[in-house]
Amino acid sequence: MVGLSIRCRASGGGLARRLATAMVLALLPGVAWGEAADATMPHQIVLFGARWCAPCMAELGHLPDLVRAAAPDRLVLAWIDRPIPIRGELAGQVDTMDAVEARRLADRELGEGFGLPAAIAMGPAGRACRPLRGSIAATDLAAWRRNCLASR
């Protein structure tokens, strides 16, 4: 059994539980999007970074814009050294992932020796699109998200 802990701050917990379930499925080998996947469920945009990564920290300054560009999908900050605290006004809109799990997911989706920053979009069943490597602006995120999700 794969363990996963995402600090979920979504009100009510229903969405948070579904997102956590999707992350667990993402870590299981051979899990792919099914025809029956709930198309109305938000996807996750996982932003990989670290505190020692200057471009990663600069991206955090644009987090409100990134949240708007990702909507209706959820942003998940997957910092591989230690989680980043989320500012008050974004607390219900952004999730954080434990550093160990972030590193495990980064190794799996980005490959061993990956570079930062990077991002992946994950569907309801946990299947990720081709990673976006490097810093991302809100305008780039919206276009990448559209192309990624349309290619499914």
Q: Which residue has the tokens 């989320």?
A: 86
pLDDT of residue 13: 45
pTM for this prediction:
0.72
CB 147 within 8 A of CB 81: no
CB 123 within 8 A of CB 131: no
Q: What is the pLDDT of the chain when averaged over all its residues?
A: 77
pLDDT digits (tens, 9 = 90+) for 79-126: 999 988 887 889 888 999 999 999 999 999 999 889 999 999 988 777
pLDDT of residue 151: 67
Reported as half-sphere exposure (CB side, CA atoms, 13 A), residue 13 has a value of: 0
pLDDT at 142 over 70: yes
pLDDT digits (tens, 9 = 90+) for 21-47: 455 444 433 333 333 344 556 789 999
